[in-house]
Amino acid sequence: MGIEGMVVAITGASSGIGAATALVLAGRGAKVVLGARRAERLEALAGRIGMAGGEAAHRPTDVRRREDLAGLVGLACERFGRLDVLVNNAGVGPISRIDALRVEDWDEMIDVNFRGVLYGIAAALPVFRRQGSGHVVNVISTAGLKIVPQQGVYAATKNAVRTFSEALRQETVAGLRVTNVSPGMVRTGFADAMTDPAVKAAINERMDRIAIPAEAIARAIAFAIEQPADVEVGDIVVRPTVQD
């Protein structure tokens, strides 16, 4: 099937894995629709893609708002006439010990990491049904595969997406594919939103030591979506070779 000509919407596209995915896919001929909260970064990324000969549309998108996801999917259909792939990438990780009771951080992770995925799928499914085809790619995390201290709520949100994705896969009719991509330690701004200074410092130190580039995840996403229509890549784990 290939990637050239595909229309791909990406949340959390202004930096990190989302931006890397946009660049990789646009470089292979996809038309990308970029959503994130930081409008100026979206504009810069879309300009970079355009300068390289690619096609990109963008729209400020807060995945906590259902109407924003509907608007992102609507932009894809208005600008390019269809939507082939939705990459649910937006995520936050203000991790901490549970007994620190940073309940506001818990709420943020639930709203962005899980509710945002649900809103994206709710926006895209009617389009996929109408077309008779579509692909949902959910960027999850290895945090849901190996549970460790300080990541309890974060891992729970990621595993909620994993569980929901399996149900979606079983319920879908022919023509709709579902892929989960679980990155390990990736060189991004993941720690920027952390509110616990000690945890933030530890994560940044570990990232400096072992993290892989965001492009590694982007290539895995590209691999999943470029498969023939009758092939579904269900789960991909991409992590540093030295990660526990």
In three-state secondary structure terms, 93 is: coil
- Which residue has tokens 């498969």? 227
Catalytic residue among 106, 119, 128, 154: 154
Helix residue spans in the chain (DSSP H): 16-27, 39-51, 66-80, 103-109, 116-131, 152-171, 197-210, 214-225
Dihedral (CA of 117, 119, 122, 124) sign: negative
Nearest to 32 by CA among 21, 43, 41, 40: 21
DSSP state letter for 213: P
d(CA 86, CA 64) in angstroms, rounded, equals: 16
Annotated catalytic, 154?
Answer: yes
**Residues annotated catalytic, as ranges:** 154
